[in-house]
Amino acid sequence: MIVAVDFDGTIVHDDYPRIGDPVTGAIETLRKLKKEGYILILWTCRTGLLLAQAVKFCAENGIRFDAINANPRSEVIKWKSDPRKVGADIYIDDRGLGKLPSWDEIYKIVHRRVPDALDRLDMSYGFAPR
């Protein structure tokens, strides 16, 4: 399962362009998801030096991403396509429709997802299984 994660306001408290303090539970949860085999994408508006600082912060805190603002190479090969939109099964972002849940709740939400259900999506609506 692929999880795309925003940085400012999601992994750290929003203090852009500075790096805010870590959001409680974010680092531990992301390390745990990675250890469990999830594919993690850092999905942020940061670019250049500000992006490099965010990646360094994550690495120093034991969070290793499979891709940064891009589709993982394995997915590009699998689908023979590299669309502009980063493809993921779940997007974790503080700018969603509501307040960002706690990272304990996010972990539970990720684990409630049933990957096999993605394979049953109706292709007539243009959904592609992951």
Residue 8 DSSP class = B
Q: What is the pTM of this model?
A: 0.81
Rounded CA separation 68/65 (Å):
7
Query: pLDDT (tens digit, 9 = 90+) per residue, 5-62?
Result: 999 999 999 999 999 999 999 999 999 999 999 999 999 999 999 999 999 999 999 9
- Are 30 and 106 in contact by the 8 Å Cβ rule? The answer is no
pLDDT at 103 over 90: yes
pLDDT at 115 over 80: no
Domain spans in the chain, listed from the N-terminal domain onward = 2-114
The CA–CA distances, whole Å, from 97 to 20, 43, 53, 73, 92 equal: 22, 17, 28, 29, 11
What is the CATH code of the structural domain delimited by 2-114? 3.40.50.1000
